[in-house]
């Protein structure tokens, strides 16, 4: 069983829809949680960063962490065609860069 599970999709939504992306994990030591966006043929870029449980909002993006369920989510409001990309979740054990784990990524397409 992988430490981080992420539905690969693909996910296709109309412009303006609310998108929900999710990951589950098995290692309870993870405390830093991240979402990366990766456009085709490009490297990932950090989108959201949260520490421990709770919600964090940045513009149209909201990251949610539920440590009790080992479940993290990224919500995108008012989705735009420019949001079409692959979204990777990532998580890390504190103070140990070797223990960073990425999900396989969910491919999202937002249709005009």
Partner 1 sequence: NAGVTQTPKFQVLKTGQSMTLQCAQDMNHNSMYWYRQDPGMGLRLIYYSASEGTTDKGEVPNGYNVSRLNKREFSLRLESAAPSQTSVYFCASSEVLIDSADQPQHFGDGTRLSIL
Please, what is the minimum distance in Å from the beta carbon of residue 99 to partner 1? 8
| Interface with partner 1 in residues 42-81 (CB under 8 A) | 42-46, 49
Please, what is the minimum distance in Å from the beta carbon of residue 98 to partner 1? 6
**CB distance 105 to 87 below 8 Å:** yes
- Closer residue to partner 1, CB minimum distance, 40 or 68: 40
Cα→Cα distances 91→6, 34, 41, 68, 82, Å: 12, 6, 23, 15, 25
Contacts to partner 1 by CB under 8 A:
4, 6, 8, 41-46, 49, 88, 90, 92, 94-95, 97-98, 100-105
């Amino acid at each position: 069983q992988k430490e981080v599970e992420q539905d690969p999709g693909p996910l296709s939504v109309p412009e303006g829809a609310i998108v929900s992306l999710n990951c589950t994990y098995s290692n309870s030591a993870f405390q830093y949680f991240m979402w990366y966006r990766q456009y085709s043929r490009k490297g990932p870029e950090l989108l959201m960063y949260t520490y421990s449980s709770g919600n964090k909002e940045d513009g149209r993006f909201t990251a949610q962490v539920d440590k009790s369920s080992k479940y993290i989510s990224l919500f995108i409001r008012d989705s735009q065609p420019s949001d079409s990309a692959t979204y990777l979740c990532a998580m890390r054990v504190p103070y140990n860069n070797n223990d960073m784990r990425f999900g396989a990524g969910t491919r999202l397409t937002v249709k005009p």
